[in-house]
Structure 1
């Protein structure tokens, strides 16, 4: 019996034939379809705004994503600093010119605005990309232990209206609320974006489920997509599903527990409990009072809990799956500060793809007894790129000296170093950079003028 219980509570994974590259793990989450989708809608949006598309393609979007991944590790005060001659960072600057990067960042898009006028989905601008990521997360094999919790995606702007939420005890107090289901390994398997009354607009709920409060609806919805849900249904019918979790003080079923003040007087580690009909309610004081409900565990046996101590600098407390994922996402965050409210959500999609793919990679390494690279190295190794050949930038004293800057015709064309769309066969003989040379010599003159 013990062996059967252990086989159920501890998931077994088949070891892979070989550990793949970080790029291959990442593309299991951020797929070719997603990249083509971004390229298509970026061209469509830029054509709607400018009258002419910026003519990007999936390969250029890949380069753009790789730059964002690098920027999440190597943080500069501003984006322009990566290209400035005094602080130029070649790992990023060699991939793409600054003006082209800024143009892509300005017009990157994920849905057709003209087709979403009557859409009840308030997240329509990012929904297609979010759903594609969710579908890939659902395919990841999971452990049998799951947790459901809310994640805050930081956003301090006001353009999102009531989509922006406030939770005072989160690292990002202002932002978008996303409910997630994660396995004990920290891998996020399902997501649900909170948007008020229309949160469940695309979810089929029974009459009984529609009467449930928000928290119960969220847990029910996210647990329906568990891969072993048929097994869970069988257990629920015959034995009942066992669960334990924290609840708000007003959700303990009216159990007459001690007040917070009484427990605080007794000191850290004190607790009080009441039980009825196979359910136990417990209030426990640690840094603050925590309320729990369970139909799986009682208060016995009592044991000491390992936790972080600032004085002795000793570890550790057990971290739940959602907390672990949230910690990994915040270690190296994609720069996503923007007036457009959906850009931080795009940054979270990119960072979650990295965190999930690294956890799958780490699990595969453990199955094959190989040493896994840390998350930072994994993120940097995701995209192997070939830097485009670029001409060295002239120093300001050379560029602005007004001496000997003659146009030189070349056999090969190059991108203009002044205007974002220009391509020219002319370059400055002294500065050695390509510049558009039209009748008025606008780019050539403007580039050399302070």
Structure 2
């Protein structure tokens, strides 16, 4: 009965909020503030997380996203209704109910929570690969879905233009225009170097070492590979000059040098595969030493700089559905902040459909984003930071470091539920998809009396779903890293080009796995390299001429009279071709077959020519 009375008191506080004011000053300070407004100048090009719009601290102002019409007073969510009690805590004689309501905001797993109405899943197309099963699904043909001949032809045109420009400036190397077939062979060598690791590019053409590899020199010369690498260009050089003139203005495009290929890759990713219901928004960092304003410091390795990619993936297999490159400032039009706009830019309702479930980490998650996605008929779930605006404050969180493992607290505001769960450390997740707790349990290893044993703990539904669908995308990142095409280069757009190769090859492998599922990643890449380079993957290694030499068919005798007859055997070629049993003292050392070797009958030569 006491719990019921406290909950009733809390509802009264919310309903009569405009009548219970602590001071006129707090009303004057109550303004609508965007939870993720980011000024371009606040983003530091020298550090990825020196300013992070996702780490904005809590405001003392009462901020609640609402789509209700303005009626002359602010509508506050239950999150802020609980937190705002701190403002009036010294006025206990006038409104003692407020202090009691503060302790009743968070509920436990024993309290029943009702999930919002499930969104109907209406994909724009049938989920899965969009190509017909009757089509060719070789690694080469699947890769060409992303790097089509028209896209490679455009690369050739711009690369040739860049080479002509370099020669006009006085560069001293020979150049012939690169063709589509040759550029495919070049890409094949890039993937070959991802499979066969050497310390430097020049080592692939060494011929004076025990560890030399013979294959690259059969595809193209070392100097040809280098000149293509130096001049590889995605956009036209003359168009680059026009774009560079706009530097410092709103019309300048920082991604102009990679825009043609990036648009092609993004369109192909969305065209040839339609994702299943659960999606994940994540980021990738590509290390880069190139001198570009878009670089960011890698958190794990502060000495390295990197490009940051946002990408949307199908959590069932890791397929990259869409991607974007972080350019060092928020160029999206909504003005809601980088993390908000990064997610919104990747979710196209016309292309995807509705009813999707989107999972994300705490960099992106905010009440504004989740409620707006819910209005667009996208469910969302993600971890969050207590210091972010419009989330319940840490001060009102009933969980402490001494809380027992498996402890659950939750609070709901309309479709949005915030859940805190104590595992080894506290985990905070919010969702517009799930109820707070539905009876899920997880197993953990715990230490008891110098031994370790498995114990079961209750786990909130949003936490279980988040762990399932976010960790399932990690294998996609691993696939990119196993045989990555990345290597050192001083041109930033070349690093982006190499990442596009990785995305295309990985997506092609996932498509092949979806259609056939009977090839390993390594075998797929080996066949792709063979197809791009125009060779047979199963070609036998070339045997040297030293292996096929005539040697005596038997030990020589010291009896001079028997030298011409001892050890003679029937020639296999004479028997097979001529139908005669001619004897010969000679045999092939490598083939171990007896063959004639005479002035008028050279079966040794004929035998090996037929092979």
> Would the TM-score normalized by the shorter structure come out above 0.5?
yes
- 1:331 matches 2:482: yes
Superposition pairs of residues 45-444 of structure 1, within 5 angstroms: 45-51=162-168, 54-85=176-207, 86=209, 87-116=211-240, 117-118=244-245, 120-139=252-271, 140-155=273-288, 157=289, 159-161=291-293, 163-168=294-299, 174-184=305-315, 185-197=317-329, 199-200=331-332, 205=333, 210-224=334-348, 227-229=351-353, 240-251=377-388, 253-257=390-394, 263-266=400-403, 269-286=406-423, 289-305=426-442, 318=468, 320=470, 322-365=473-516, 371-383=517-529, 384=531, 385-386=533-534
Q: Distance in 2 between matches of 1:244 and 1:49?
A: 51
Q: How far has the Cα of 1:308 moved from its partner?
A: 11
Q: Distance in 1 between matches of 2:389 and 2:480?
A: 32
Q: 1:266 to 1:172 in 2, by over 3 A?
A: farther
Q: Distance in 2 between matches of 1:299 and 1:288?
A: 18
Q: Distance in 1 between matches of 2:408 and 2:187?
A: 49
Q: 1:348 to 1:238 in 2, by over 3 A?
A: closer
Q: 1:246 to 1:25 in 2, by over 3 A?
A: same
Contact 1:151 1:179 (C-alpha < 8 Å) held by counterparts: yes
Residues 22-69 of structure 1, C-alpha deviation per residue, up to 9 Å, x if partnerless? 111111111112211221111111110112854111111011000011
User: Normalization by structure 1: what TM-score?
Assistant: 0.71
Q: Distance in 2 between matches of 1:359 and 1:259?
A: 46
How many residue pairs align between the two structures? 367
Residues 124-177 of structure 1, C-alpha deviation per residue, up to 9 Å, x if partnerless? 22221111111111102221222222221222x25013x111342599963111
Residues 362-393 of structure 1, C-alpha deviation per residue, up to 9 Å, x if partnerless? 1112xxxxx421111111111423469xx99x
Contact 1:165 1:175 (C-alpha < 8 Å) held by counterparts: yes
Q: 1:380 to 1:113 in 2, by over 3 A?
A: same
List runs of 5+ in structure 1 lacking aligned partners: 366-370, 393-450
Q: 1:63 to 1:219 in 2, by over 3 A?
A: same
Contact 2:387 2:394 (C-alpha < 8 Å) held by counterparts: no
SS in 1 for 2:412: strand
Q: Distance in 2 between matches of 1:256 and 1:288?
A: 17
List runs of 5+ in structure 2 lacking aligned partners: 1-117, 169-173, 247-251, 357-371, 447-451, 454-463, 537-541, 544-611
User: Normalization by structure 2: what TM-score?
Assistant: 0.53
Alpha-carbon RMSD across the aligned residues, in angstroms, is 3.8
SS in 1 for 2:145: helix
